[in-house]
Homo-oligomer: A and B are copies of this chain.
Amino acid sequence: MAKKQVTFADIAEYTGFSKTTISRYFNHPDSLTLENQEKIAKALDELGYRKNKLARVLANGKSEFVGIIVPNLYLHYYSEMLTQLLRSYSDYHYKFLVFVSDGGPEKEMQYLDELMAYKIEGLIVLSHTLSSEKLASYNIPVIAIEREAEHICSVTTDNYMGGMQATSLLIRNQCDVLIHINVHVPENIPAYDRIRAFEETCREYHVPYELNLNVSGDSYQELFEQMRVIFQDIDSKYSGQKKGIFLSNDTYANMFLNLIFQKYNCLPDEYQIIGFDDSPIAAESIIPITTVGQQIDVIAQTTMELLVEQMNEMKKRKPAPLQKPIHKKITPVLIRRQTTGD
């Protein structure tokens, strides 16, 4: 606030119109004669007017703010999703208030308080910290992305399809035994379907399989050492058999691949590897890794469409909020590279 702002009052005085007319110049320009429009435009320029959208929000209640809560940006999946969401500014002109959720439920509720205090019109949640029940209680449109969403709308990858695509490929490629490596995944989050799909597909085709859901750890090093143990176990246990390894993400897949290389200096025919996410690492690894690519752009776009629709609904005189949450699934794409034969 170096110098006082130029306001509608100033423009009004300068042009001889009323404040109302200046306001109309912005909101209903057609109701002014072209001549007067130009007069005002000229005055705006000469006085160096700058909009104050905060005052506008106070007057009409439309903040054009959307809140985003994301767990981190370390994972490519999240940073890419955030990018795509932010990009939607071009289409909808919603502004995004972004919080990284890394402090547990209390912190996250504080973020939500802050967002509500700034009168966000809608919310996009990627973190898993708060229950969908809690989120629903804020009474604004909420879309969950790839998380538990019993009481709110959601957009997720079709994880079952993804898991099935990966598993089927390994089976088609004549693997003797399939192994799925993952962290422990609660049954109520979408990614659990990858495990279900793996298991059910293996059974359907009567292919021997093993589930290893014990991965855990905070640092890359910890995870890598765990993976080393898992690798050694598998490598000796199934020696001589053709092994199809389906890992829950590309980082794990890359670790596994590196471990194989450390031992064999190449990817032997008796190993096939598939990751998940189509992260950069899958392309940058020592051998490009076959992976299941989530259509992040489509997910982001679907999210915004769903959200905008509901935010528009809320602006009507008699809003009719959704009775039941809408859940959308986006089909992933199998990206065949060099770790699954040629």
Contact = CB atoms under 8 A, between A and B. Distances in A.
A255 B281 contact: no
Contacts of A283: 220
Interface in A249-269: 251, 254-255, 258, 261, 265-266
A97 B100 contact: no
Contact of A2 (B57, B98, B319): B319
Interface in A73-120: 73-74, 79-80, 82-83, 86-87, 89-90, 95-100, 102-103, 111, 113-114, 116-119
Interface of A: 1-2, 50-55, 57-58, 61, 63, 72-74, 79-80, 82-83, 86-87, 89-90, 95-100, 102-103, 111, 113-114, 116-119, 139, 220, 251, 254-255, 258, 261, 265-266, 280-281, 283-286, 314, 319, 321
A144 B82 CA distance: 22
A120 to B, nearest CB: 11
A239 B89 CA distance: 53
Given A53-B117, A281-B284, A73 B79 contact: yes
Nearest to A95: B97
B119 A54 contact: yes
A51 B286 contact: no
Contacts of A251: 284
A83 B74 contact: yes
Contacts of A50: 116-117
Contacts of A63: 54
A11 to B, nearest CB: 16
Contacts of A102: 87
A118 B139 contact: no
